[in-house]
Amino acid sequence: MDQLSQFNSGISILEMSYIIASILFILGLKMLSHPLTARRGNTLAAIGMGLAVIATILFHHKDGKPIGNVGFILFAIGIGSIIGWVIAKRVKMTAMPQLVSFFNGMGGAAAALISMMEFQHVSPELIAKSGMANGHVLAILLGLMIGTISWAGSMIAFGKLDGRIGDLRIKAMKYVNLTILAILIGFIVYIMTRHVQSSSELTYLIYIMFVIAAIYGVLFVMPIGGADMPVVISLLNSFTGVAAAMGGFLYNNQIMLTGGILVGSAGTILTILMCRAMNRSLLNVIIGVFGGGGKTNVEATGSVKEISISDAAVLLSYSKKVVIVPGYGLAVAQAQHICHELDKLLEEKGVEVKYAIHPVAGRMPGHMNVLLAEADVPYEQLIESEEINPDLPNTDVLVVIGANDVVNPAAEDDPSSPIYGMPIIKARDAKNIIVMKRGMGKGYAAIENMLFYNDKTRMLFGDAKSTLQNLVNEVKSL
């Protein structure tokens, strides 16, 4: 009786711990939506995860028995925590998109491995009762397929973001991807309709399915490049969340289910918002047929005009309103702190300074927000592109630092352009435009930017960090 009472007490403590952890997850996710509360939100979510893990180890029982191999579990958690801590501490801000892809891929791999292991242990009693066509088997197969796609796709995304893997563009790629996706669904239907005594009889099909899903994950991401990459990262994050939710179904674990649903739904919503920001179809994302890069029918005309550091400093210092458009080049140069120093100097001179933030600037969703938050730029200065565009005609100087595709007029003017239809920051509407670039290289979408040839545009060539430092020194001397 005492043992039964203790068992029931353990279950109630476990459930209460899961409820508290779920609340912490939701609060943390909510706080992540604002830079001022993001760090606290991340901490709350981490506390919730820690609570869920500890409660599961201490109080989770199956058939009246506690979890075994606790020593191995704690050892694995310890090793993983140390590796994750070291990687996160050493990573540069410019490599943050790669880190997100890598960590997300590890989550997908974990979900896929869980499914591969659990398939061999499907209860014979369950098979005898309902055959392979049951929710438990379906959760395993979906977890395997989605987790593997997320893992393989994230690894390719990591390589592409890190410059180690190029784009693979084949006209028939969408048909290839659709065919592979149909084959994967066919495997699921075939396995669930087989009449067997034990699931181990079909284990070889699981390994084949794993290989096919990995191939799809690779081919799904390989054609994608350019400014489309943030959408892919967001979609892969949602895949990992869904795969984790499948694990929650398998183990009847409410916290895995809750966490997976939160990640999956948040990633899906963000993906839709990213697609809307880039005028892309979500269906095209899933079958992997879009991507930056490609030819355009518009030829560069006009001449490129340069501006000196001293002239740029005078123009900025005697303006009333300045808008800065940050891009990946700013992150590469690690120039966000000097950029913030410049905007503070200009504000001391009575200049109103704002930052125009495009939703997909950089290489991951919110990349510029994270970059500027690191430099302690007040959140009130960060204005979304659709909000700041109407005010650009009244802007004296717009400064583009390392951005390209998100200010490219081809998105509005050239139907043949791969970025046509993508909402952009309408930089050409400003009274004066200063573009900071190393050279006349094309952006990640690999197309010409006619903004550089605009009569109102002046090019300020050089590394963003050194150029901004020289500009700061010049503004101070005025």
Q: Which residues are catalytic?
A: 405
Instruction: Report the C-alpha gap between 134 and 147 in whole angstroms.
Output: 20
Instruction: Report the C-alpha gap between 349 and 371 in whole angstroms.
Output: 25
Listed as own residue / partner, the contacts of 119-123 with beta carbons closer than 8 Å and 24 or more positions apart are 119/144, 119/199, 119/202, 119/203, 119/206, 120/199, 120/200, 120/203, 121/199, 122/198, 122/199
8 Å CB contact between 418 and 445: yes
- Lookup: tokens for 59: 């109080």
Nearest to 231 by CA among 172, 149, 290, 163: 290
8 Å CB contact between 383 and 308: no
Sign of CA dihedral 337, 338, 340, 341: positive
Angle (CA) 387-388-390 rounded to 5° is: 90
Nearest to 457 by CA among 260, 300, 317, 347: 300
Instruction: Report the C-alpha gap between 281 and 254 in whole angstroms.
Output: 33
Who contacts 107 (Cβ-Cβ below 8 Å, separation ≥6)? 150, 240, 243, 244
Q: How many residues does the chain have?
A: 478
8 Å CB contact between 147 and 108: yes
The values of phi and psi at residue 355, to 5°, are -110, 130
Angle (CA) 336-233-422 rounded to 5° is: 75
Q: How many other C-beta atoms lie within 10 A of the C-beta of residue 98?
A: 22
